[in-house]
Amino acid sequence: MNPLNSINMQAMEHAIKLSSLDGLRGYSQDHYGTVKQYQSTEYISKKSARGYQVLREPAWNKGTSFNPDERISKNLTGLIPHTLESLETQCARAMAVINSRTTDIDKYLYLSSLKASNIDLFYRVLIDNVAQLMPLVYTPTIGDVCLQYSTLYTRPEALYISIKQRKSMATILRNWPYPDPSICVVTDGSRILGLGDLGVNGVGISIGKLALYTGAAGIHPEKTLPIVLDCGTANETNLADPFYLGLRSKRVSPTVQQEFMDEFMAAVEEVYPNMLVQFEDFETEKAFKYLERYRKRKCFNDDIQGTGAVVLAGYISAVNLSSVPIEEQRLVFMGAGSAGVGVAKQLMEYYTRRGLSEREAKDKFYLVDTKGLVTFDRGDKLAEHKKIFARSDNNGHQFKTLEEVIEYVKPTALVGLTATFGVFTESAVRALKVSVDAGGLGRRPILFPLSNPLTKAECTFEQAITWTEGTAIFASGSPFSPFTTKTRDQLTTYYPNQGNNVYIFPGLGLGAILANASRITDAMVYTSAHALSQCLSPDEIRQGLIYPRIERVRDASVVVAREVMKSARREGVSLLSEETWVEWEEWGDVALTAWIKGQVYDPK
């Protein structure tokens, strides 16, 4: 008998492989050196750049659009084809390439290479084809990109700040090649979309989000800064991946992560004191904690505040379409994480601004997590953020399933932020319709399955329309196609709404930057939502839409930015001169809107 037969050789080989990948094993993990750079980087100016210095800088390269004088003055003769093309022709070529690619990842990679070679062309293509390309640049494609980021990696596109170099963060920030960025998106990769802890691979979120700040609101691309903070990862797949680009170690403790974050915020204040910091995809507890801890700084959290605001904007319009009076509205939230609680808090403010007390407004919300209805007496230790909406009026009864909660609450709205596909079952959605119908004729249920990407959506648009017999007021986090049904000989087409944060965060960020706001107040966030709800055109209202068509996102962002600026002024956080505001206050929205449009990036 072979004694080796009882040994799991596959497991042993796997352990040996992991051990060989762990380059930090045996070293002290709590001592940090300081990076000493002996020379500063000297960048050539755009004015003095010639030849390949121009062509290899994406912010300067115009490709075949350089005119004859530029080709001579910049020594480009012979370095590019001897043809003069318009930007429109270049865009048509780019779209032809995109449409020839068979997978979304391939299309993303082409767009990424385009951005790395010709920024103006990339953004012109994105702006002119936003409905087709936004799902490629951000959700849902960006989720797949993040999962494969280390494998797909070809060039740096961000600042990668390892906790191993925590004492050198100011140096790292100064290494960014574009001076004085106006906004950064920072993540630690601990909760990417509904995909969990992706570690440094989560940097794709920061990159994609900032592309939308530019594409949807016109913040200049040279004024944007994507950042990932690498604190390790709990993702075993990443740790075993030989191509993984992050620290091959478990995440440090919450205490050390907090220290790291404090040091990062201090470094930002030292190096880029005027930069707006947007937190993105931190795990729930940290997301709430950091937002509260740095509330007086120039920062906001899009997962909490942006998601809340865009859902609020849609909800304002949905309530008007539902024919259910405000006093009879009751909302069930499936999902009680950072996004769920953030959305609920924003919607609660909608009611307090309409005369309800905080207690009365809070009583309209019922949050459900994996253990059922969130109550104070269900026997588990509630996270702090869940206590805000935990129920105490359940008389000792516990409701463990969504269907049980719907039967108990009789809601008028069902909101999903669970990142669990199909959790809105047919029985749950039909029960929602029954509870709404019981209130009277002509009433419509509000159904918002908001999780990203599509593979995490709580239900599909087709299911929502079918199960509610076409009455649902629907908004999702990811894009769905219109759905056509046939009743007898009549075709009816229903149009979905996408409650995409891109309707809020670009305009909110632009408004805060242009107002030179010292911080982002709750009133500014609420104002962004209310402004968006006022952006619908008559045609969009007739089609039953609750958000503007995505093709008009830049128009909406200008309106959101304008109203956010005015809110910053009212809140006393705008640092613009008094003389500037006096002039706008004399001439009103027309003057301020024209000024905003004059500030935004719009490649021609």
The owner of tokens 């755009």 is: 46
> How is the beta sheet containing 497-498 ordered, strand by strand?
372-373, 365-369, 331-334, 413-416, 446-449, 473-476, 497-498
Identify the active-site residue in 209, 298, 345, 386.
Answer: 209
Spatial separation of the C-alpha atoms in residues 460 and 543, rounded to whole Å: 19
338-352 helix and 284-293 helix, angle to the nearest 10 degrees: 50
**CB under 8 Å to 181, separation ≥6 — which residues?**
222, 223, 224, 225, 272, 275
In three-state form (DSSP H/G/I as H, E/B as E, the rest C), the secondary structure along 143-193 is: HHHHHCHHHHCCCCCCEEEEHHHHHHHHHHHHCCCCCCCCEEEEECCCCCC
List the one residue out of 308, 307, 317, 216 whose CA is nearest residue 534. 317
The backbone torsions φ and ψ at residue 322, rounded to the nearest 5 degrees and listed phi first, read: -80, -20
Strand partners, 227: 159, 186
Identify the active-site residue in 62, 74, 115, 138.
Answer: 138
Count the Cβ atoms, other than its own, within 10 Å of residue 199. Answer: 31
Spatial separation of the C-alpha atoms in residues 218 and 422, rounded to whole Å: 36
Give kind and range of the element (H or E) at residue 16. helix 9-21
Spatial separation of the C-alpha atoms in residues 438 and 429, rounded to whole Å: 14
CA distances from 154 to 222, 237, 241, 522 (A): 21, 21, 17, 40
Alpha helices in 283-327 (DSSP H): 284-293, 307-322
**CB under 8 Å to 116, separation ≥6 — which residues?**
58, 155, 157
Tokens of 46: 């755009």
138 is catalytic: yes
228, HSE (Cβ side, Cα atoms, 13 Å): 30
Spatial separation of the C-alpha atoms in residues 474 and 496, rounded to whole Å: 6
List the one residue out of 228, 260, 146, 162 whose CA is nearest residue 194. 146
Question: DSSP class of residue 44?
Answer: P
CA distances from 504 to 31, 85, 337 (A): 41, 35, 20
Question: DSSP class of residue 304?
Answer: I
Tokens of 108: 């993303």
**CB under 8 Å to 464, separation ≥6 — which residues?**
424, 429, 447, 449, 472, 474
The backbone torsions φ and ψ at residue 280, rounded to the nearest 5 degrees and listed phi first, read: -140, 125
456 is catalytic: no
Spatial separation of the C-alpha atoms in residues 310 and 451, rounded to whole Å: 13
579, HSE (Cβ side, Cα atoms, 13 Å): 0
Angle at 230 between CA 227 and CA 233, to 5 degrees: 135
Tokens of 452: 């990203």
Tokens of 12: 């042993």
Catalytic residue numbers, as ranges: 138, 209
